[in-house]
Amino acid sequence: MRKQRGLSLVAGAVFAFLFIPLIIITITAFGEKPTIQFPITGLTFSWFAAVFENQSFIDSFLLSLEISLLATLLALAVGIPAAYALTRQAVKGRNWIKSFFLSPTIIPGVVVGYSLFQFIVIRLQVPIFQGLLLGHFLISIPYIIRVVGSSLEQLDFSIEEVAWTLGSTKVKAFTSIVLPNISSSIFAAFMLAFINSFNNIPVSQFLSGPGISLLPTTLMNYIEYNYDPIVSALSVLLMLGTIILMFLIEKTLGLAKVV
């Protein structure tokens, strides 16, 4: 009983540590004062309107959406066949290759961002948009390989072999047998990679350039010179968007199927 109470207290403390700052941010978004204050005095929705009036926020949000979506789709196109090959084939040095693909999640984000800056911008002199897309692709692919690879390791490949014996080509068996059986893990990998790409700061910071800035970078630059509740309002809108997205996933697929 004491152990259960202790675990409950620890769990409660962890949840409080995670949710109290979010609650405070939400409350400060409705304050009337021109600076972020808690507790607030008065109630207003004007800061939410100010978010949509700030063109830099709108442009950077749309660009972040475009980069994250394209990078995640490219990561899926490369990561799914790579995960299949690493799982299905007796590739020499398979464990080393897996470790290599997962290295962007192990190395600190600042180091990854600076390394990509030196390679993509300085060495290759890739244009800013293409550089951002390449950088976000590289940080997204580990999530695809890890999640999809874990699902493939639990898949009974005998069903694919049966399809071969019945005359199906390997490509058709892969698309009609393997992919449908790992569709939930593909969706989960897409969500993890997309959210990580959208919220990434180090890579976005190092690879951004004049006139091209993703939302995290724009938000960081804004906070450097401003301390008004528009930042809290934008944070609340992003949290609300995430909640709506998870609600739609639960109603359509069920969260249990994508985790």
Domain extents for the chain?
Answer: 55-226+244-257
Whether 45 has a pLDDT exceeding 80, the answer reads yes
pLDDT-based confidence at residue 35 (cuts at 50, 70, 90): confident
Whether 217 has a pLDDT exceeding 80, the answer reads yes
Q: Is 0.85 surpassed by the pTM of this model?
A: no
Residues 6 or more apart in contact with residue 215 via CB below 8 angstroms? 57, 60, 61, 63, 64, 198
Q: Distance (Å, rounded) from C-alpha 259 to C-alpha 254?
A: 9
Q: Which tens digits make up the pLDDT trace of 155-211?
A: 777 777 777 777 777 778 777 777 787 777 888 888 888 888 888 888 888 877 777
Whether 254 has a pLDDT exceeding 60, the answer reads no
Q: Distance (Å, rounded) from C-alpha 102 to C-alpha 82?
A: 12
Q: Distance (Å, rounded) from C-alpha 199 to C-alpha 99?
A: 24
Joined together, the tokens standing for residue 34 give 């021109």
Q: What is the pLDDT of residue 259?
A: 47
Give the right CATH number for 55-226+244-257 from 3.50.50.60, 3.40.50.150, 1.10.3720.10, 3.40.390.10: 1.10.3720.10
What is the CB-side half-sphere exposure of residue 101 using CA atoms within 13 A? 23
Q: Which tens digits make up the pLDDT trace of 129-139?
A: 888 888 888 88
Residue 181 Cα distances to 79, 160, 197, angstroms: 16, 11, 26
Q: What is the pLDDT of residue 90?
A: 64
